[in-house]
Amino acid sequence: MSERKSVTNLTEAQWRIIRPFVRRPSRRGRPHLHSRREVIDTVQYVVRTGCQWRMLPHDFPAWKAVSQIFYRWRKNGTWQRIHEALSKKVRRQAGKRSTPSAGIIDSQSVKGIRIIFADSAYGRRDLPKFIQQTLCFTIECVRRVPGTKGFVVLPKRWIVERTFAWLGRSRRHSKDDECNPETSEAMIQISMIHLMLQRLAPVKS
């Protein structure tokens, strides 16, 4: 367990949840200096604070070691595997099906989706027909009620803005400086992993 205290550190309960989805370090080669839990704590710190790898405080694990594991897990699908597993747990906890049957444009696409709720702009021209024929999805445009003025919360559409607000808590997303879009995707997955762990194992105040 890491002795360094940070709001991004995993609690014992949170670590027990994701530990089964983290592969054990290989016994070959040099022994690993840092535990997988310390690595996750450090990556969460980078994402939450927007800190550059090289600018990690000295009481954190070596930035090169952590960044190498981050990119390795991005390539082998570890971050995505943890994200998908927690998503199913959160949905079941909320009394929903583990796999969603509907999606929203700008959200991560998932197997099994049949309906996509979208802004009214996506209903123009032949896009809905094209989506139906090529992807077998149905686009359902959410429109404002005629005559309404000012800000109005529209069904389904507000979920996108809410998700962006959640991601906005992590400074790494304030500006996308990543050279590889897969890295940006992994950073988003890490933010959502942190959020879902807070729901599955809330920190007692």
Q: What is the mean pLDDT of the chain?
A: 78
* Residue at 174 is within a domain: no
* 183/130 same-domain check: no
* Number of domains within the chain: 2
- Predicted confidence (pLDDT) per residue in 81-118, tens digit: 999 999 999 999 988 877 765 555 544 444 445 555 55
Residues 79 and 117 in one domain: no
Shortest CA distance to 74 belongs to which of 202, 184, 201? 184
pLDDT band, residue 177 (cuts 50/70/90): confident
| pLDDT above 70: residue 192 | yes
In-domain check, residue 7: no
Is residue 187 domain-shared with residue 87, that is, in the same domain?
yes
Q: Give me the mean pLDDT over the 46-68 stretch.
A: 93
Q: Are residues 49 and 86 in the same domain?
A: yes
Residue 121 pLDDT more than 60? no
Domain extent, residue 37, equals 12-93+179-200
CB 141 within 8 A of CB 123: yes
Amino acid 164: pLDDT: 75
114 within a domain of the structure (yes/no): yes
pLDDT 10s digits, 20-44: 999 776 666 565 667 999 999 999 9
Find all residues with CB under 8 Å of 189, minimum gap 6, and list them: 79, 80, 82, 83
Domain co-membership, 28 together with 87 = yes
Could you give the C-alpha distances from 175 to 54, 145, 168, in angstroms and in order?
18, 34, 10
Q: Is residue 120, in this structure, part of any structural domain at all?
A: yes
Please check whether residues 89 and 185 belong to one and the same domain: yes
